[in-house]
Structure 1
Amino acid sequence: MKRAYRSLLATAAAGVLALAATACSDDGGDTSGPIKVGAINGVTGLFQTPEVPQAVKAVFDEVNAAGGINGRKIEFISKDDAMNPQRATEAAIDLIESENVVALVGSSSAVDCGLNRATYTNNNIVSIPAVGVDPACFTSPNIAPVNPGPFKLITAMLYYASETLGHDKVCMMFVTLPGAGAGIDSAIKEWEGITGKQLALKNTAVGQGDPTQYLVQAKSAGCQAVLYNGVVGPWTAQAKTQGMQDVDFIVAANSYTDANAEVVPADIKVYAGTEWQPYTDETLPGNDRWAKIIDANKIQKTAFSQGGVMAADMFVEVLKTIKGDITRESVTKAFKEMQPITYPMVGTPYVFGPGDAHNPIEGSRFVKAVGGKWEVLPEGFIVPGKK
């Protein structure tokens, strides 16, 4: 594994050197043709988000149909990395060197940020992911996702459990993906700093098999609320068997699907944190535009497709502020100097900015499984530490 990773890094480094050695044709500086924009998405493989590049393209098609940006059309090039590190690295190099894209917009890869963060920095190109997954998406100078991400979401979930639901004994039972441990710890520490509280129980080594042992552990600890990010069906069925009807279970955004709402037993309380306005209610602010685009293009309605629309919208808004030629250099400068943009589908304004780390979107709205469907709760966006 270590040899393979070193080999992968070597490949990426070689690609960066090759980029540095090329002439001025690699700077996205052609101002006579289309504005080329790239993305790295999981269309196949273990982390599949095919609806994301479809949503991004739908927004750009809308812009192109209206005449483009200063008469120039946007050409969108999405690369499928299939959650394969080598393919993700090669995709970034190809988009930057061969396609001469001015930016990456709407990426939704589980491995892109960690592998390509140095490539983006070294080539002075920005990435605006629709779905930031790993910690590197939020701790890199040239990457700023339009979603809160799993770690800010954890802080919001903990805050909701302790401050909105009013629980003293908040517990966490999490399946931890490789490389996510530090991000989880940071999220917990942020919640502790805001509330002055501590977890009654923490288990971040939960397996995906029979959940009985974990639920027994939570019951013995007297947990009033349990954060959980694994498979919903077996977990809630066993919670019913264990007689845990008085516990509030709060699941992560990955569990916010119609299918999961359908399998929750009627007397088990399950809440889900969302990163954007809950997509199951199209009357919520911002969802009307998203639903119109998604419906018109027959794209699957998911929370991730919301991120695709938002990322594309943010890019277009910033492009409109550029005076003069639209190149990689001018796009990067515009994002680093942009003013915050309020977008109704999220809890805080989006801004890229000049810093070394970017996690501009914070907060979560919460839904509850009721009668086999998700019911949107009335509190609005919960942004920890802010009233």
Structure 2
Amino acid sequence: MSSLTRRTAVFSTALILVAASASAALAQKKYDPGASDTEIKIGNIMPYSGPASAYGVIGRTEAAYFNMINEQGGINGRKINFISYDDAYSPPKAVEQARKLVESDEVLLIFNSLGTPSNTAIQKYMNAKKVPQLFVATGATKWNEPKEFPWTMGWQPNYQSETRIYAKYILKEKPNAKIAVLYQNDDYGKDYLKGLKDGLGAKAASMIVAEESYEVSEPTIDSHIVKLKSTNGDVFVNITTPKFAAQAIKKVAEIGWKPVHFLNNVSASIGSVIKPAGFDNAQDIISVAYLMDAVDPQWKDDPAMKGFDTFLAKYFPDANRADGGVMVGYNVAQTLVQVLKQCGDNLTRANVMKQAASLKDFRSSNLLPGIKINTSATDFAPIEQVQLERMKGERWELFGAVLSGEIGG
């Protein structure tokens, strides 16, 4: 072989090696619609208007958080393009917005869409399209069904676990209680009610003296509260969204009804519910928490709370830090960022779900001590622990141990 032929052969081999290594590098990067070398497109649906508009702050907090992440260089070099639409807490509108996000905007996933009725309306569509419906902003128990709905996952503690915990507390502290229940007449309200009944077991039929439901279209629930008081219930389980929760707290005080009052976690925000209802009216109400309360002085010097305040000062200065929705948005956004980091350069929808189902003892910054996020291929319920709290003065006071509602166990 002449020296020229030899050089040509060496050169050809080098070219082949370069081409092979380049294609291997390219092969490591996998993208579905909504992902590229520079961008990750995330969809979101929130009730910025309508009867549940108090929750809109969650979406605004997430937008601010992703702005911060982008300013810091993004995730694995990619910027988040966060597209958030209003559905006014209307299921038909949610369907319209989900289709727009998936088919027109071509997002990689829909993240933290809010409301049990809205998410129920889009669940079959999202799973048929094989697009992640990830960390939905509702605690309905149905989001933990990986076999039937492998593209849908919850985030917050589930509703049935929460009311099972209230039931255990009632059975221990007030075994002869007469329980009056107010609940929203939809999947969200019925899920909470089921947990309460399951937790009370055989005693549910005798202990629950009244079940009163309301529609989200009603302007006020005052008449329902008056009716419940007339049953002589001495325990009131208040399963309502923020607007109606504030109305209920006010009306209970106004008519002089003094039951032991349980308020579901989704309406335990001091900023959007307790303060508007009046602190005097809310004393001794019991709820549960899984995140630090930004107005609780015990966290004042906690590094995680200082981080939260630094974030608000720079990226969301208009936020009401007493609004629990701000804390929720801040922490659920961190959880999504963790999942996307774990995805690396494999930004397929299937890998997003795989990584979301592979969280091991992850802690977003403001979870209460002892609470961790864990998921697996058979467990799509990231947060399964809470702690009881009672309204004292102008803040919630935590009490008792970290608890689990033990669904199915």
For Structure 1 versus Structure 2, the TM-score category normalised by the shorter chain is: 0.7 to 0.9
Take 1:269 and 1:118, find their aligned partners in 2: how far apart are those partners?
41
1:91-130 alignment runs, 5 A limit: 91-129=97-135
Give the drift of 1:234: 0.8
Match of 1:153, SS state, is: helix
How has the CA–CA distance of structure 1 residues 314 and 169 changed in structure 2, closer, same or farther, with 3 Å as cutoff?
A: same
Give the drift of 1:385: 5.9
The runs of at least 4 consecutive aligned structure 1 residues that moved more than 6 Å come to none
Partner of 2:77: 71
Take 2:127 and 2:103, find their aligned partners in 1: how far apart are those partners?
14
Give the drift of 1:34: 0.7
| Letter of the 1:368 counterpart | R
Give the drift of 1:350: 2.4
Q: Please list the CA deviations of residues 31-52 of structure 1 after superposition, one character each: whole Å capped at 9, or x if unmatched.
A: 2231111111111122112211
| Letter of the 2:185 counterpart | L
How has the CA–CA distance of structure 1 residues 283 and 36 changed in structure 2, closer, same or farther, with 3 Å as cutoff?
A: farther
Q: Please list the CA deviations of residues 181-229 of structure 1 after superposition, one character each: whole Å capped at 9, or x if unmatched.
A: 6523431244246xx864622422256233333223134xxx3x43223
1:296-375 alignment runs, 5 A limit: 296=314, 297-298=316-317, 299-301=319-321, 302-343=323-364, 344-345=366-367, 348-355=371-378, 358-371=380-393, 373-375=394-396
In the alignment, structure 1 residue 226 sits paired with structure 2 residue 236: yes
Match of 1:67, SS state, is: coil
Aligned pair count? 347
In the alignment, structure 1 residue 293 sits paired with structure 2 residue 293: no
How has the CA–CA distance of structure 1 residues 181 and 263 changed in structure 2, closer, same or farther, with 3 Å as cutoff?
A: closer
Corresponding residue to 2:42 among 5, 24, 37: 37
Take 1:143 and 1:282, find their aligned partners in 2: how far apart are those partners?
36
In the alignment, structure 1 residue 154 sits paired with structure 2 residue 154: no
How has the CA–CA distance of structure 1 residues 256 and 235 changed in structure 2, closer, same or farther, with 3 Å as cutoff?
A: farther
Take 2:46 and 2:231, find their aligned partners in 1: how far apart are those partners?
38
Partner of 2:184: 176
Take 2:112 and 2:176, find their aligned partners in 1: how far apart are those partners?
38
Larger CA Rg, structure 1 vs 2: 2
Q: Please list the CA deviations of residues 211-267 of structure 1 after superposition, one character each: whole Å capped at 9, or x if unmatched.
A: 333223134xxx3x43223411111232x3x5x4xx422222315435535635579
1:162-311 alignment runs, 5 A limit: 162-163=171-172, 166-170=173-177, 171-180=179-188, 182-192=190-200, 198=204, 200-206=207-213, 208-210=221-223, 211-219=225-233, 223=234, 225-229=235-239, 230=245, 231-238=248-255, 240=256, 244=258, 247-253=259-265, 254-258=267-271, 260=274, 263=278, 265=280, 269-281=284-296, 283-284=298-299, 286-296=304-314, 297-298=316-317, 299-301=319-321, 302-311=323-332
| Letter of the 1:252 counterpart | N
Give the drift of 1:77: 0.8
How has the CA–CA distance of structure 1 residues 141 and 340 changed in structure 2, closer, same or farther, with 3 Å as cutoff?
A: farther
Please tell me whether the aligned partners of residues 27 and 100 of structure 1 are also in contact (alpha carbons under 8 angstroms).
no
TM-score (norm 2): 0.73
Match of 1:82, SS state, is: coil
Q: Please list the CA deviations of residues 54-73 of structure 1 after superposition, one character each: whole Å capped at 9, or x if unmatched.
A: 21122222221221122111
| Letter of the 1:143 counterpart | T
Q: Which is richer in helix?
A: 2
Please tell me whether the aligned partners of residues 236 and 268 of structure 1 are also in contact (alpha carbons under 8 angstroms).
no
Corresponding residue to 2:93 among 74, 87, 90: 87
**Unpaired segments ≥5 residues, structure 2:** 1-29, 215-220, 240-244
Give the drift of 1:87: 2.2
Give the drift of 1:169: 2.7
| Letter of the 2:312 counterpart | I
Note the aligned Cα RMSD (angstroms): 3.2
Please tell me whether the aligned partners of residues 52 and 106 of structure 1 are also in contact (alpha carbons under 8 angstroms).
no
Partner of 2:22: none
| Letter of the 1:201 counterpart | I
Match of 1:71, SS state, is: coil
Q: Please list the CA deviations of residues 311-361 of structure 1 after superposition, one character each: whole Å capped at 9, or x if unmatched.
A: 211111122222433232332232234434234515743244334x73332
| Letter of the 2:192 counterpart | I
Take 2:62 and 2:405, find their aligned partners in 1: how far apart are those partners?
30
How has the CA–CA distance of structure 1 residues 326 and 113 changed in structure 2, closer, same or farther, with 3 Å as cutoff?
A: same
Specify which structure has the bigger relative contact order, considering alpha-carbon pairs within 8 angstroms and separated by 6 or more residues.
Answer: 1
Please tell me whether the aligned partners of residues 138 and 154 of structure 2 are also in contact (alpha carbons under 8 angstroms).
yes
How has the CA–CA distance of structure 1 residues 385 and 168 changed in structure 2, closer, same or farther, with 3 Å as cutoff?
A: farther
Match of 2:232, SS state, is: helix
Match of 1:316, SS state, is: helix
Take 1:236 and 1:334, find their aligned partners in 2: how far apart are those partners?
47
